[in-house]
């Protein structure tokens, strides 16, 4: 199994599309199994009814998308058929997840399932321990480009994501604050850093993927154990927060790198981002710019931070199976 992880808006979806172009790989949508659908300890046995409910949730998210899915109960019958067809009934959530991934990949005539949930960067240790054959691809992107993408994420509804519910648009708007986004970028980078020498984990810089796509993808194919094909680079240019979707345009657009340099980020936002991420930017060869923040804008961001943080917390309660555990991993790690 392949797990693509990293800070949100770091190229995980693009990487999923690239690998999904391979005839052996089936890329799922963002399933958000770890942390949202299931909380530690992941290897604990669950009652049969809970397994069935969890399978229905997975089907619902995969069929409808994690930002638009509604009523998992409608997928209970499909979940029951799936579970009844297994040679060994999964007694734990992780066994169910593996069975679900492999089953769906097989149903689509593929051998290797690929999960592209960014927040799994906070669960790399669990993934490596629970799935001894799994490979993890960690995406890293300039924190200022991540900041810009997160700032504009709520506009996806007008850039091609027309099915995005109003609630999700409001959630994206509430989630954005330069301090919050910068801090979470740091925690995501640090979460993956401890596995930088692990033989089943590799990191890819988004900027290098855009500049040298063939070289990077060939490296990843060797890492995963599949054969490179040119078709893997022919992905649709969709999903950006900066530009409108162009599904008819295939290929990897190198201009998506360094968008923050000519963008709507204010001097105060860039200043705060660089101040918070300074040491990790240096470690990952991202060069800060000398910038003097607008004092009024800086003050406004500092004053609004507690309000935005509280709002983001309440907007995301439904995405935390265990609030204490999620905050521990994503905020305080």
Domain locations along the chain = 2-330
Taking only the tens place, the pLDDT of each residue in 231-274 is: 999 998 765 555 555 667 777 877 778 889 887 899 999 999 99
C-alpha–C-alpha distance, residues 207 and 254, integer Å: 8
C-alpha–C-alpha distance, residues 76 and 217, integer Å: 38
Taking only the tens place, the pLDDT of each residue in 108-155 is: 999 999 999 999 999 999 999 999 999 999 999 999 999 999 998 877
pLDDT value, residue 81 = 96
The shares of helix, strand and coil residues in the chain, as percent rounded to the nearest 5, are 55, 10, 35
Among 214, 234, 231, smallest CA distance to 222 is for 214
Among 269, 69, 81, smallest CA distance to 181 is for 269
* 307 pLDDT tier (thresholds 50, 70, 90): very high
Phi-psi region of 328 (alpha: psi -120 to 50; beta: other; left: phi over 0): alpha
Residue 163 scores a pLDDT above 70: no
Residue 161 scores a pLDDT above 70: no
Give DSSP secondary structure letters for 218-230.
HHHHHHHT----G
C-alpha–C-alpha distance, residues 322 and 306, integer Å: 22
Taking only the tens place, the pLDDT of each residue in 80-95 is: 999 999 999 999 999 9
Tokens of 189: 């980078």
> In terms of DSSP bridges, do strands 236-237 and 2-6 run parallel, antiparallel, or are they unpaired?
unpaired
Q: Name beta bridge partners: 139.
A: 6, 204
* 329 pLDDT tier (thresholds 50, 70, 90): confident
250 vs 61, higher pLDDT = 61
Residue 184 scores a pLDDT above 70: yes
* 205 SS3 class: strand
C-alpha–C-alpha distance, residues 118 and 138, integer Å: 9
Share of the chain above pLDDT 90, in %: 74
**Arithmetic mean of pLDDT over the chain:** 91
* CATH of segment(s) 2-330: 3.40.50.300
For residue 114, what is the enclosing H or E element? strand 112-115
pLDDT value, residue 43 = 87
C-beta of residue 112 within 8 angstroms of C-beta of residue 2? yes
Residue 333 scores a pLDDT above 70: no
> In terms of DSSP bridges, do strands 112-115 and 2-6 run parallel, antiparallel, or are they unpaired?
parallel
């Amino acid at each position: 199994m392949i797990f693509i992880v990293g800070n949100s808006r770091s190229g995980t979806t693009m990487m999923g599309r690239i690998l999904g172009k391979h005839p052996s790989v089936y890329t799922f949508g963002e399933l958000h199994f770890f942390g949202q659908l299931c909380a530690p300890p992941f290897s604990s046995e669950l009652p049969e009814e809970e397994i069935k409910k969890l399978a229905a949730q997975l089907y619902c998210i995969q069929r409808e998308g994690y930002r638009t899915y509604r009523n998992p109960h409608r997928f209970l019958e499909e979940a029951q058929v799936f579970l009844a067809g297994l040679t060994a009934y999964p007694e734990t959530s992780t066994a169910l997840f593996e069975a679900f991934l492999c089953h769906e990949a097989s149903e689509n005539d593929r051998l290797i399932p690929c999960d592209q949930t960014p927040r799994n960067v906070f669960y790399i240790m669990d993934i490596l321990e629970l799935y001894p054959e799994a490979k993890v691809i960690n995406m890293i992107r300039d924190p200022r480009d991540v900041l810009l993408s997160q700032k504009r994420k709520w506009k996806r509804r007008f850039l091609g994501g027309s099915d995005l519910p109003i609630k999700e648009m409001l959630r994206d708007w509430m989630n954005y604050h330069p301090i919050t986004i910068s801090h979470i970028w740091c925690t995501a980078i640090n979460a993956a850093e401890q596995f930088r020498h692990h033989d089943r984990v590799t990191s890819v810089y988004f900027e290098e993927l855009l500049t040298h796509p063939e070289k990077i993808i060939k490296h990843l194919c060797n890492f995963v154990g599949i054969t490179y094909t040119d078709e893997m680079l022919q992905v649709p240019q969709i999903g950006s927060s900066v530009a409108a979707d162009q599904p008819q345009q295939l290929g990897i657009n190198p201009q998506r790198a360094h968008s923050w340099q000519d963008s709507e980020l204010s001097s105060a936002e860039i200043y705060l981002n660089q101040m918070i991420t300074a040491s990790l930017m240096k470690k990952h060869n991202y060069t800060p710019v000398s910038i003097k923040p607008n004092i009024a804008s800086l003050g406004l961001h500092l004053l609004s931070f507690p309000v935005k943080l509280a709002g983001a917390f309440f907007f995301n309660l439904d995405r935390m199976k265990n609030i204490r555990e999620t905050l521990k991993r994503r905020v305080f790690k």
